Amino acid sequence: MSNRNQIKSAKRVVIKVGTSTLTYENGNINLGRIEKLARVISDLMNSGKEVVLVTSGAIGVGSSKLKLKEKPQSIREKQAVAAIGQCELMHIYSKFFGEYSHTVGQVLLTRDVVEDDHIRENVVNTFETLLEMGIVPIVNENDTVSIDEIENIVKFGDNDNLSAIVASLISADLLIILSDIDGFYDKNPRENDDAKLLEEVLEITEELENAAGGAGTNFGTGGMITKLMAAKVSNKAGVNMVLANGECPEVLRDVLEGKEIGTLFIRDKK
Ligand code: ADP
Protein backbone atom coordinates (compact mmCIF):
# COMPACT_ATOMS: atom_id res chain seq x y z
CA MET A 1 0.00 0.00 0.00
CA SER A 2 1.41 3.42 -0.89
CA ASN A 3 2.07 5.74 2.02
CA ARG A 4 -0.74 8.13 1.10
CA ASN A 5 -3.13 5.18 0.77
CA GLN A 6 -2.21 4.21 4.32
CA ILE A 7 -3.44 7.63 5.42
CA LYS A 8 -6.81 6.93 3.82
CA SER A 9 -7.41 4.06 6.21
CA ALA A 10 -6.41 6.07 9.30
CA LYS A 11 -9.16 5.75 11.88
CA ARG A 12 -7.83 7.51 14.96
CA VAL A 13 -6.58 11.00 14.15
CA VAL A 14 -5.06 13.72 16.33
CA ILE A 15 -5.36 17.23 14.86
CA LYS A 16 -3.32 20.14 16.21
CA VAL A 17 -4.24 23.74 15.50
CA GLY A 18 -1.97 26.59 16.51
CA THR A 19 -2.65 30.20 17.33
CA SER A 20 -1.88 31.22 13.73
CA THR A 21 -4.83 29.12 12.53
CA LEU A 22 -7.24 30.23 15.27
CA THR A 23 -6.64 33.96 15.36
CA TYR A 24 -6.33 36.90 12.99
CA GLU A 25 -3.06 38.77 12.76
CA ASN A 26 -4.48 41.40 15.14
CA GLY A 27 -4.83 38.68 17.77
CA ASN A 28 -8.63 38.41 17.68
CA ILE A 29 -10.27 35.03 17.42
CA ASN A 30 -11.11 33.86 13.88
CA LEU A 31 -14.63 32.50 14.40
CA GLY A 32 -15.17 31.64 10.73
CA ARG A 33 -12.11 29.41 10.74
CA ILE A 34 -13.09 27.66 13.97
CA GLU A 35 -16.59 27.08 12.68
CA LYS A 36 -15.22 25.45 9.51
CA LEU A 37 -12.86 23.37 11.59
CA ALA A 38 -15.76 22.14 13.73
CA ARG A 39 -17.83 21.35 10.64
CA VAL A 40 -15.09 19.36 8.91
CA ILE A 41 -14.15 17.45 12.07
CA SER A 42 -17.82 16.68 12.80
CA ASP A 43 -18.17 15.28 9.30
CA LEU A 44 -15.02 13.19 9.66
CA MET A 45 -16.52 11.75 12.83
CA ASN A 46 -19.77 11.03 11.02
CA SER A 47 -17.74 9.06 8.50
CA GLY A 48 -16.42 6.87 11.32
CA LYS A 49 -13.14 8.52 12.34
CA GLU A 50 -12.14 9.14 15.94
CA VAL A 51 -10.75 12.67 16.33
CA VAL A 52 -8.80 14.33 19.12
CA LEU A 53 -8.24 18.08 18.74
CA VAL A 54 -5.20 19.71 20.33
CA THR A 55 -5.73 23.44 20.46
CA SER A 56 -3.81 26.55 21.48
CA GLY A 57 -5.30 30.00 21.69
CA ALA A 58 -6.33 30.37 25.35
CA ILE A 59 -4.24 33.50 25.93
CA GLY A 60 -5.42 35.09 22.68
CA VAL A 61 -9.07 34.41 23.47
CA GLY A 62 -8.63 35.54 27.09
CA SER A 63 -7.03 38.80 25.96
CA SER A 64 -9.95 39.49 23.57
CA LYS A 65 -12.49 38.59 26.25
CA LEU A 66 -10.89 41.01 28.71
CA LYS A 67 -10.48 43.60 25.92
CA LEU A 68 -6.82 43.97 26.85
CA LYS A 69 -4.99 46.54 24.74
CA GLU A 70 -1.78 44.55 25.02
CA LYS A 71 -1.03 40.86 25.48
CA PRO A 72 -0.19 40.00 29.12
CA GLN A 73 3.54 40.08 29.78
CA SER A 74 4.37 38.33 33.06
CA ILE A 75 3.97 34.57 33.40
CA ARG A 76 1.42 34.88 36.22
CA GLU A 77 -0.70 37.27 34.15
CA LYS A 78 -0.48 34.94 31.16
CA GLN A 79 -1.61 32.03 33.34
CA ALA A 80 -4.55 34.04 34.64
CA VAL A 81 -5.57 35.21 31.16
CA ALA A 82 -5.22 31.63 29.89
CA ALA A 83 -7.59 30.45 32.64
CA ILE A 84 -10.18 32.97 31.42
CA GLY A 85 -9.53 32.27 27.76
CA GLN A 86 -9.63 28.50 28.12
CA CYS A 87 -13.29 28.40 29.16
CA GLU A 88 -14.25 30.90 26.50
CA LEU A 89 -12.37 28.81 23.93
CA MET A 90 -14.20 25.66 25.07
CA HIS A 91 -17.48 27.54 24.94
CA ILE A 92 -16.79 28.44 21.29
CA TYR A 93 -15.85 24.86 20.38
CA SER A 94 -18.81 23.47 22.29
CA LYS A 95 -21.19 25.80 20.47
CA PHE A 96 -19.84 25.09 16.97
CA PHE A 97 -19.53 21.32 17.46
CA GLY A 98 -23.00 21.37 19.03
CA GLU A 99 -24.41 22.86 15.84
CA TYR A 100 -23.30 19.69 14.08
CA SER A 101 -24.63 17.45 16.91
CA HIS A 102 -21.26 16.63 18.43
CA THR A 103 -20.20 16.93 22.04
CA VAL A 104 -16.77 18.00 23.24
CA GLY A 105 -14.80 17.19 26.40
CA GLN A 106 -11.97 19.25 27.83
CA VAL A 107 -8.67 17.52 28.59
CA LEU A 108 -5.95 19.68 30.16
CA LEU A 109 -2.55 18.02 30.30
CA THR A 110 1.04 18.63 31.22
CA ARG A 111 3.82 17.02 29.21
CA ASP A 112 5.08 14.99 32.12
CA VAL A 113 1.99 12.75 32.06
CA VAL A 114 4.08 10.22 30.21
CA GLU A 115 6.61 9.96 33.02
CA ASP A 116 4.41 8.34 35.67
CA ASP A 117 2.82 4.99 34.75
CA HIS A 118 -0.21 5.53 36.95
CA ILE A 119 -0.97 9.02 35.62
CA ARG A 120 -0.35 7.90 32.09
CA GLU A 121 -2.85 5.06 32.50
CA ASN A 122 -5.47 7.47 33.86
CA VAL A 123 -4.97 9.78 30.89
CA VAL A 124 -5.21 6.95 28.35
CA ASN A 125 -8.37 5.62 30.06
CA THR A 126 -10.01 9.03 29.86
CA PHE A 127 -9.22 9.37 26.14
CA GLU A 128 -10.37 5.83 25.36
CA THR A 129 -13.64 6.33 27.20
CA LEU A 130 -14.35 9.70 25.58
CA LEU A 131 -13.64 8.24 22.14
CA GLU A 132 -15.88 5.22 22.84
CA MET A 133 -18.63 7.67 23.76
CA GLY A 134 -18.20 9.49 20.44
CA ILE A 135 -16.97 12.68 22.11
CA VAL A 136 -14.32 15.00 20.65
CA PRO A 137 -11.60 15.39 23.31
CA ILE A 138 -10.22 18.92 23.09
CA VAL A 139 -6.74 19.08 24.56
CA ASN A 140 -4.63 21.96 25.75
CA GLU A 141 -1.75 22.39 28.12
CA ASN A 142 -2.82 23.02 31.70
CA ASP A 143 -1.40 26.52 31.96
CA THR A 144 -2.20 26.82 35.66
CA VAL A 145 0.01 23.87 36.47
CA SER A 146 2.66 24.04 33.80
CA ILE A 147 4.35 27.05 32.31
CA ASP A 148 6.18 25.06 29.63
CA GLU A 149 4.05 26.37 26.81
CA ILE A 150 3.74 29.91 28.09
CA GLU A 151 7.42 30.22 28.85
CA ASN A 152 8.82 28.28 25.95
CA ILE A 153 6.45 28.99 23.14
CA VAL A 154 9.38 29.30 20.75
CA LYS A 155 11.22 26.33 22.09
CA PHE A 156 8.29 23.94 22.34
CA GLY A 157 6.23 25.52 19.59
CA ASP A 158 2.80 26.11 20.82
CA ASN A 159 1.62 22.57 21.65
CA ASP A 160 3.38 20.80 18.75
CA ASN A 161 5.17 18.64 21.24
CA LEU A 162 2.04 17.98 23.30
CA SER A 163 0.13 16.85 20.20
CA ALA A 164 2.85 14.30 19.42
CA ILE A 165 2.75 13.03 23.01
CA VAL A 166 -1.04 12.64 22.81
CA ALA A 167 -0.85 10.88 19.43
CA SER A 168 1.72 8.44 20.82
CA LEU A 169 -0.18 7.86 24.08
CA ILE A 170 -3.42 6.89 22.39
CA SER A 171 -1.71 5.04 19.50
CA ALA A 172 -3.25 7.27 16.87
CA ASP A 173 -2.93 6.31 13.21
CA LEU A 174 -2.19 9.86 12.19
CA LEU A 175 -1.22 13.25 13.61
CA ILE A 176 -2.12 16.26 11.47
CA ILE A 177 -0.44 19.54 12.43
CA LEU A 178 -2.03 22.59 10.84
CA SER A 179 0.28 25.56 10.39
CA ASP A 180 0.42 28.76 8.36
CA ILE A 181 2.50 27.14 5.61
CA ASP A 182 1.79 24.39 3.03
CA GLY A 183 4.27 21.93 4.47
CA PHE A 184 7.94 21.40 5.15
CA TYR A 185 10.34 22.88 2.60
CA ASP A 186 14.00 22.12 1.89
CA LYS A 187 14.71 25.68 3.07
CA ASN A 188 12.68 28.49 4.57
CA PRO A 189 10.27 29.45 1.75
CA ARG A 190 9.76 32.94 3.17
CA GLU A 191 13.41 33.67 2.52
CA ASN A 192 14.12 31.49 -0.52
CA ASP A 193 12.06 31.69 -3.72
CA ASP A 194 13.43 28.38 -4.95
CA ALA A 195 12.48 26.42 -1.80
CA LYS A 196 10.81 23.10 -2.63
CA LEU A 197 8.01 21.43 -0.69
CA LEU A 198 8.94 17.96 0.54
CA GLU A 199 6.02 15.58 -0.05
CA GLU A 200 7.40 12.75 2.04
CA VAL A 201 10.02 12.55 4.74
CA LEU A 202 11.34 9.11 5.65
CA GLU A 203 13.92 10.18 8.17
CA ILE A 204 14.60 13.39 10.08
CA THR A 205 18.18 14.07 9.20
CA GLU A 206 20.54 16.80 10.33
CA GLU A 207 20.08 18.37 6.91
CA LEU A 208 16.34 18.73 7.57
CA GLU A 209 17.00 20.18 11.00
CA ASN A 210 19.20 22.76 9.37
CA ALA A 211 16.46 23.53 6.82
CA ALA A 212 14.14 24.13 9.79
CA GLY A 213 16.41 26.82 11.12
CA GLY A 214 18.99 24.76 12.96
CA ALA A 215 18.89 22.19 15.72
CA GLY A 216 20.27 22.35 19.22
CA THR A 217 19.88 25.58 21.08
CA ASN A 218 19.13 27.69 18.04
CA PHE A 219 15.36 27.81 18.27
CA GLY A 220 15.15 31.35 17.01
CA THR A 221 13.77 30.92 13.51
CA GLY A 222 10.19 29.90 12.80
CA GLY A 223 8.33 27.10 14.43
CA MET A 224 9.60 24.37 12.12
CA ILE A 225 12.08 22.84 14.52
CA THR A 226 9.23 21.99 16.90
CA LYS A 227 7.29 20.41 14.01
CA LEU A 228 10.30 18.20 13.30
CA MET A 229 10.51 17.31 16.98
CA ALA A 230 6.82 16.37 16.92
CA ALA A 231 7.42 14.25 13.80
CA LYS A 232 10.31 12.49 15.53
CA VAL A 233 8.27 11.66 18.63
CA SER A 234 5.21 10.48 16.73
CA ASN A 235 7.07 8.58 13.99
CA LYS A 236 9.10 6.75 16.63
CA ALA A 237 5.86 5.72 18.33
CA GLY A 238 4.56 4.36 15.00
CA VAL A 239 2.34 7.34 14.17
CA ASN A 240 2.39 9.00 10.73
CA MET A 241 2.34 12.79 10.74
CA VAL A 242 1.18 15.29 8.11
CA LEU A 243 2.07 18.98 8.25
CA ALA A 244 -0.41 21.05 6.23
CA ASN A 245 -1.79 24.56 5.88
CA GLY A 246 -4.69 25.32 8.23
CA GLU A 247 -5.94 28.32 6.26
CA CYS A 248 -8.76 26.20 4.82
CA PRO A 249 -9.74 23.52 7.35
CA GLU A 250 -11.20 21.47 4.44
CA VAL A 251 -7.58 20.44 3.90
CA LEU A 252 -8.17 17.85 6.65
CA ARG A 253 -10.63 16.01 4.43
CA ASP A 254 -8.22 16.07 1.48
CA VAL A 255 -5.36 14.73 3.61
CA LEU A 256 -7.56 11.90 4.88
CA GLU A 257 -8.64 11.09 1.33
CA GLY A 258 -4.99 10.34 0.61
CA LYS A 259 -4.37 13.41 -1.56
CA GLU A 260 -0.76 14.55 -1.92
CA ILE A 261 -1.11 17.58 0.32
CA GLY A 262 1.38 18.93 2.81
CA THR A 263 4.36 16.92 4.02
CA LEU A 264 3.95 13.34 5.20
CA PHE A 265 6.45 12.22 7.83
CA ILE A 266 6.44 8.45 7.65
CA ARG A 267 6.26 6.39 10.80
CA ASP A 268 9.02 4.07 11.96
CA LYS A 269 8.10 0.59 10.88
CA LYS A 270 10.31 -1.12 13.46
P1 ADP B 1 2.50 27.74 13.72
O2 ADP B 1 2.32 29.03 14.47
O3 ADP B 1 1.50 27.52 12.65
O4 ADP B 1 2.62 26.56 14.62
P5 ADP B 1 5.13 28.78 12.99
O6 ADP B 1 4.73 30.14 12.50
O7 ADP B 1 5.78 28.67 14.30
O8 ADP B 1 3.90 27.79 12.90
O9 ADP B 1 6.09 28.12 11.90
C10 ADP B 1 5.79 28.20 10.54
C11 ADP B 1 6.82 29.08 9.84
O12 ADP B 1 8.11 28.48 9.84
C13 ADP B 1 6.55 29.27 8.37
O14 ADP B 1 5.56 30.24 8.15
C15 ADP B 1 7.93 29.69 7.81
O16 ADP B 1 8.06 31.08 7.87
C17 ADP B 1 8.92 29.11 8.84
N18 ADP B 1 9.88 28.14 8.26
C19 ADP B 1 11.21 28.11 8.53
N20 ADP B 1 11.83 27.11 7.87
C21 ADP B 1 10.87 26.46 7.16
C22 ADP B 1 10.89 25.30 6.29
N23 ADP B 1 12.01 24.62 6.02
N24 ADP B 1 9.70 24.89 5.76
C25 ADP B 1 8.54 25.55 6.05
N26 ADP B 1 8.48 26.64 6.84
C27 ADP B 1 9.61 27.11 7.41
CATH assignment at residue 199:
3.40.1160.10
The number of the ligand 1 atom at minimal distance from the alpha carbon of 223 is 7
What pLDDT is recorded for position 160? 92
CA 181 / ligand 1 centre spacing (Å): 6
What pLDDT is recorded for position 83? 96
Separation between Cα atoms, residue 227 and residue 233, nearest integer Å: 10
What pLDDT is recorded for position 154? 44
Burial label, 114 (beta-carbon count in 10 A; 0-12, 13-18, 19+): middle
CA 128 / ligand 1 centre spacing (Å): 32
- Does 270 reside within a domain? no
Please give the model's pTM, rounded to 2 decimal places. Answer: 0.94
- Is the Cβ atom of 18 under 6 angstroms away from ligand 1? yes
60 lies in which domain range? 3-265
Q: What number of H helices and E strands is found in the chain? A: 11, 8
- Is the Cβ atom of 149 under 6 angstroms away from ligand 1? no
Residues of the chain with pLDDT below 70 are 1, 148-157, 214-222
Residue nearest to atom 5 of ligand 1 (CA): 223
What pLDDT is recorded for position 217? 38
Total residue length of the chain: 270
Task: Label residue 52 left, alpha or beta by phi (over 0 means left) and psi (-120 to 50 means alpha).
Answer: beta
- Does 226 reside within a domain? yes
- Does 101 reside within a domain? yes
What pLDDT is recorded for position 62? 93
Residue nearest to atom 22 of ligand 1 (CA): 188
Ligand 1 mutation pick, 30, 182, 224, 229, max ligand atoms within 8 A of CB: 224
- Is the Cβ atom of 245 under 6 angstroms away from ligand 1? no
What pLDDT is recorded for position 98? 98
Strand order in the sheet with 50-55: 104-109, 136-141, 50-55, 12-17, 174-179, 240-245, 263-265, 200-201
Tell me, what DSSP letter sits at residue 225?
H
Number of folded domains in the chain?
1
Burial label, 61 (beta-carbon count in 10 A; 0-12, 13-18, 19+): buried
Separation between Cα atoms, residue 255 and residue 197, nearest integer Å: 16
What pLDDT is recorded for position 29? 87
pLDDT digit string (tens) for 130-186?
999 999 999 999 988 887 666 655 444 579 999 999 999 999 999 999 999 999 999
Tell me, what DSSP letter sits at residue 57?
-
- Does 234 reside within a domain? yes
- Does 187 reside within a domain? yes
CA 155 / ligand 1 centre spacing (Å): 13
CA 127 / ligand 1 centre spacing (Å): 30
The number of the ligand 1 atom at minimal distance from the alpha carbon of 180 is 3
